[in-house]
Amino acid sequence: MDPMPLTRDVVEFCCDTCGVVAGRITLTTETASNGRIWHNIKTFFDCSGGYGLNASVNAPVFAELQPLLADPPAATPRRICKVNENYVPFYCAECDLVYCIDEWDDIRAVIDHTDPYGSFEGESARCPHGHCRMISS
Ligand SMILES: [Zn+2]
Ligand SMILES: [Zn+2]
């Protein structure tokens, strides 16, 4: 059986255009088998889980992020974006709006051409107002 997380904060964000749940952030603190405490963030960007982020979070970032997520009125995408824009891939900072996956257009792979192997950087997309951002990395 997996150990229960010591803390677990979940916040959902609804699409400002159509109202469906556009994304969900889950921030957890767990104790590893060696006793070390570690923090993890998962961001699901659509209900099928096709796009998302799953990353460890260091202690200073956790200290900044956790109070926001524990207090849903404070957990605005704008504030979370200031911590790390990758945590809110459904959010366009220029519009200051949340869009579900269906609103994003022109989703395309971004390749680092300065890398001789052409490494995959993630995917970019355009919001309904034409602003471009990375939606996965
Ligand atoms: Zn929508
Ligand atoms: Zn926009």
User: Is residue 121 situated within a structural domain?
Assistant: no
How far does the centroid of ligand 1 lie from the alpha carbon of residue 65, in Å?
25
User: Is residue 53 situated within a structural domain?
Assistant: yes
How far does the centroid of ligand 1 lie from the alpha carbon of residue 58, in Å?
32
Number of domains into which the chain is organized: 1
User: Is residue 46 situated within a structural domain?
Assistant: yes
Residues ≥6 apart with Cβ < 8 Å to 24: 10, 11, 12, 13, 43, 44
Distance CA 21, CA 39 (A): 24
Phi, psi for 126 (deg, rounded to 5) = -115, 135
User: Is residue 55 situated within a structural domain?
Assistant: yes
Q: What is the pLDDT along the chain (137 residues), one digit of tens a residue?
A: 556 678 899 999 999 999 999 999 999 999 988 889 999 999 998 755 567 789 999 999 999 999 999 998 899 999 999 999 999 999 999 999 999 999 999 999 999 889 888 898 889 999 999 999 999 87
User: Is residue 136 situated within a structural domain?
Assistant: no
User: Is residue 109 situated within a structural domain?
Assistant: no
Q: The pTM is what? A: 0.88
User: Is residue 111 situated within a structural domain?
Assistant: no
SS3 40: strand
| Domain enclosing residue 60, as ranges | 7-101
Which residues are in the CB-under-5-Å shell of ion ligand 2? 92, 94-95, 127, 129, 131
User: Is residue 67 situated within a structural domain?
Assistant: yes
How far does the centroid of ligand 2 lie from the alpha carbon of residue 85, in Å?
14
How far does the centroid of ligand 2 lie from the alpha carbon of residue 90, in Å?
10
